[in-house]
Each structure stands twice: as C-alpha cells, then as structure tokens.
Amino acid sequence: MPLSRRVAAFAAERGLLAPGEAVVVGVSGGVDSVTLLHVLLEAGFRPVAAHVNYGLRGADSEADEALVRALCAAWGVPLQAERAALSGSVQSEARRVRYDLFARVAAEAGATKVATAHHRDDQAETLLLHLFRGAGPRGLAGMPVRRPLAPGSPVEVVRPLLFASRSEIEAYAREHGLRWREDASNAEGSYRRTALRRDVLPAIEEVFGEEVRARLAHTAELLRAFLDSGAALTAGGALAEVLGDIDGPPALSVAALRAMPEVQRRGVLLDALRRFAPDAPRSAATVSEIEALLDAQPGRRVVWPSTTVWRDREHLVFETDEDAGVEPFEARVEPGRTETPLGTLDVELLPEPPRAFDPSPRVEVVDADRLDFPLALRPWRPGEAFRPLGLVGEKKVSDLLTERKVPPQERARQLVLLSGGAVVWAVGHRLGEAFRVGPGTRRAARLVWRPAGGVDADRAGR
C-alpha cells in the first residue's frame, strides 16, 4: 500500500486528522518533513507549511529555507517562514521558537492540528535515550502519537508518520523524485541522539537484528497504551477476570480480552500460556498466534504437541490431550485386527481389487503391494502433511480437518495410518494418493475403522 494511503489510514484509525482537514506542517527541508508535506498533500489533507531559519549553519540554513520556499511554491502550499536569533540553550530555545510559530500559524489558518515528521526510528531512539537517562515508565513510553501543543491549548501535535521507518520514508522520497537537504549536524557527534543513531543503534542491530528499531518502537507504544488506559492499576488478577465460567478445560472470554489494552491482553495471554499450555513456546510470536484467534472464525486453533488453543464462539479454549481424553500412543498394525484406545482397525488382504467400493468414509481399499508392514496407527502430529487422493500437492492434516469441519474438541482424536513414515490414510477422511488402487494394482488391502463405543461404520457418502 502506498505510504500516502497508509498515512491516511493511520490518521483515521488514531483520530489524528479528518479528510480534507487543514493542518500545520513543520518543514525543515530534511527528507522526513519534505516527505510528510508531500504525503499529506497526496492523502487529501490541506497542509500549511511553517519553517524557522535559525541561521545556525550559515549558507546551509539559507539553502534550507530556499528549498522549502521553492517546494511550497511548486506544490501550491501556503508557507510562513521566519528567522530567529537564538540565545541561551540552543535546543530548548529553538523548540520554543518553533512551537510559538506553530501556534500562530494554526490560529491564522484555523487549524487545530500541527503535524511533525517524527517516525518509528525516532521513537526507538527516544525510548533508548530515556532509558539511559533513568526515566520512569512514562518516559519509556516514548512520544505519543498526539498531544496538546501546549498545556490547555486546543491545538494538538500529531505524528502521522510514527508508524513508518526512516528507510520507508527515504524510499518514498526517492520514488517521487523529491528534493531535500541533508543536515550536516546529523553526521556529527555533538548531540547524544546523533551518537545514538550513528554508533549505538547500529551496534545493537548487529546483535539483535535489523528489526530491533521496530521492536523498540512497539514496546514504547504498548507501554503508553498500558499507562494511558489505567490498566497498570488493575493488572493484578487480570487472568482470573477473563476466565470463562464454563465446564471443561480453561477458557478465556473473547469479549473481555478484546476490551483490554493490547499490552495488558498480551500479558494475560502469556500468563495463560504459562499455566495452561506448558509445552507451548512462551514468546511474542506465540502470543501473537493466540491473539489472532480473537478475530478468527470459530473452530480455528493453534496446536502444540500436547496442547491446543481453539476458538469457540465466545472463548479461547486451552485443551490438553488429557482434556481431550487421548493418551499418546502408536499401535503396530499387521494384517488382521488391531485394538487401540479409540477403536479397532481391521486390515484384510485381498487377492485382487474389489469390483465395487464401500461408500463409508471408515472403509478404504489400498494397493497392498505399496504397504510396508508393520504399519503404524497413532494420533496425527502438528505439521504432518501428505498428498491426499486426487490432489497435485501436499496438504497438512490440520488443513484437511479444517476443510472437513472437524470440531476442535475432536481433532485430538484424529488418527493417521502410516507406512514407512508416509501417511496412508487420514482415518475417516482421505486416502494418500501414493497408496490408491490403480490399473497396475495386483493385490489390495481393505481397511475398516470401527470407533470405540460400538458405533457402526458411517454409511453417509464421502
């Protein structure tokens, strides 16, 4: 999706800007602010540019202003630029001058929003700067996506690019042939943020990978949502609050989980994994898999060797093999009858293929010469796949069961018959293509499955 559409969607989702709304944009002439101005134009907003020439870099400052004026003239964007002589603390004074200009331009334009070009990499840097300074939770929450321009001000600062990385912004600028100015101070070590950007973060990336900036920014966002919601005051006992009052395995209320801030919800799910799914990896990726079930259709599931989390209409159910009534087993199968905890399998060798086939899904006929006895009969395993009869490629057993609409609570009882490690039959559902009876079949084997409890073979069609 183009960056302009992503910005529009992000602005709408966070309530930052309304379609066609006037917005003041701080434009320094660097790639971030030039891209923000162009993106807001492309997305259908009405930007008004504001630029301050501090004169700190001599001819370079003059060139920055000249570029901003040229761009605004070419794009038809109103611009208010001013010069400022700074005294005292340069950074704090520059910020005061800049925000005073934003307030005046907003009042003249009738705008209630000021957009700045802070992005995801800035957020990661901010979190680390605050961390190294010993900041508390609010500082570690980084920059908010929106805040008042000043205490009590009706004008808000919004950050429509806070989701985007620096590389995405630069790629957009190159793709659209935008002109911008490089600030030489970005390559100098005079500011802590510059040193962090130039030296510290690259070193961290070498150890933790290229996505570390995105993860840091996401951490800040989660912490801010947690603090803003007041969830930090009620986090204790949160798992107990979402446990459903139902018989059977532990179940978490979907509605209650959805109502939680993301960071609290993910903490609750991690706690649930510790308590109810001891064999599941306790990682962010695992929590994301479980969280995705909240928006999935009933019946969807995440499976580990002895635990399944599945979605019913109102709950996420944590079911173990013990809950499903299945003890792990693997039965050795020879011609004749094989008893298992879930039923019996009869294997009858035939001198030739039958002329007619039984329509029951619990009866199959296979090419006996392709079987390598003893066969194995056991519950299916996560990730197990085979080529079902009539298909060109492989399919996971889990996907087959989904297509066949097997209820989640019955999946742990699903068996597979194997020959030499290859799936001969997903019992009751589909034969493996490699074992089908064909024109070259000389001997056949009839497989008959009888579930425990005296249930007769199902005569319904396949």
221-269 pLDDT tens trace: 888 877 776 554 444 457 777 887 655 678 899 999 998 888 788 888 8
- Give yes or no for a cis peptide into 388 (omega within 30° of 0): no
Q: pLDDT tier at 454 (50, 70, 90 boundaries)?
A: very low
User: Which CA distances in Å does 449 have to 47, 318, 457?
Assistant: 71, 29, 8
User: Which CA distances in Å does 278 have to 18, 250, 272, 379?
Assistant: 47, 13, 9, 20
Given strand 113-115, what is the order of strands in its sheet?
Answer: 79-83, 46-53, 22-26, 113-115, 156-158, 146-148
Specify the pLDDT at position 338: 96
Distance of alpha carbon 92 from alpha carbon 79, whole angstroms: 24
Distance of alpha carbon 292 from alpha carbon 303, whole angstroms: 14
Question: Mean pLDDT over residues 136-164, rounded?
Answer: 89
Specify the pLDDT at position 187: 44
Q: Where in the chain is the domain with CATH 3.50.40.10?
A: 331-451
3-state helix, strand, coil in the chain (%, to 5): 40, 20, 40
Containing 253, the helix (H) or strand (E) segment is: strand 251-253
pLDDT at 115 over 60: yes
179-204 pLDDT tens trace: 999 865 554 434 688 888 888 999 99
Q: Where in the chain is the domain with CATH 3.30.465.60?
A: 238-324
Architecture of the structural domain at 238-324 = 2-Layer Sandwich (3.30)
DSSP 185: G
Specify the pLDDT at position 188: 43
Lowest average pLDDT, out of 116-125, 248-257, 335-344, 371-380, goes to 248-257
285-315 pLDDT tens trace: 888 899 999 999 887 889 887 788 988 888 9
pLDDT at 139 over 60: yes
DSSP 458: P
Cβ contacts of residue 209 below 8 Å, gap of 6+? none
Specify the pLDDT at position 55: 86
Distance of alpha carbon 167 from alpha carbon 177, whole angstroms: 15
* Proportion of the chain above pLDDT 70, given as a percent: 90
Lowest average pLDDT, out of 258-272, 378-392, 443-457, goes to 443-457
58-111 pLDDT tens trace: 899 999 999 999 999 999 999 999 998 877 667 778 888 999 999 999 999 999
453 or 126, higher pLDDT: 126
Q: pLDDT tier at 453 (50, 70, 90 boundaries)?
A: low
Q: Which tokens is 410 given?
A: 């019955």
Q: Where in the chain is the domain with CATH 3.40.50.620?
A: 3-227
Best CATH choice for the domain 3-227 from the list 3.30.565.10, 3.40.50.620, 3.40.50.1860, 3.40.50.720: 3.40.50.620
Specify the pLDDT at position 42: 94
| Average pLDDT across the chain, whole number | 87
Q: Which tokens is 25 given?
A: 């944009």
pLDDT at 361 over 90: yes
Q: pLDDT tier at 137 (50, 70, 90 boundaries)?
A: confident
- Classify domain 331-451 at the CATH superfamily level: Phenylalanyl-trna Synthetase, Chain B, domain 3 (3.50.40.10)
187 or 350, higher pLDDT: 350
Degrees, nearest 5: CA angle 395-398-401 = 95
Q: How many CA atoms lie within 13 A of 169 on its CB side?
A: 26
Specify the pLDDT at position 76: 97
206-224 pLDDT tens trace: 999 989 999 999 988 888 8
Specify the pLDDT at position 63: 95
DSSP 105: H
Question: Mean pLDDT over residues 352-371, rounded?
Answer: 93
Q: Which tokens is 356 given?
A: 């007619």
368 or 283, higher pLDDT: 368
* Proportion of the chain above pLDDT 90, given as a percent: 58
**Cβ atoms 149, 57 nearer than 8 A:** no
The reply to whether the predicted model has a pTM over 0.75 is no
**Cβ atoms 38, 50 nearer than 8 A:** no
Q: What is the 3-state secondary structure (H, E, C) of 53-67?
A: ECCCCCHHHHHHHHH
Specify the pLDDT at position 222: 83
Specify the pLDDT at position 462: 31
CB atoms within 10 A of CB 163: 21
**Cβ atoms 369, 435 nearer than 8 A:** no
DSSP 456: P
Please, what is the angle between helix 120-132 and helix 212-229, to 10°? 70
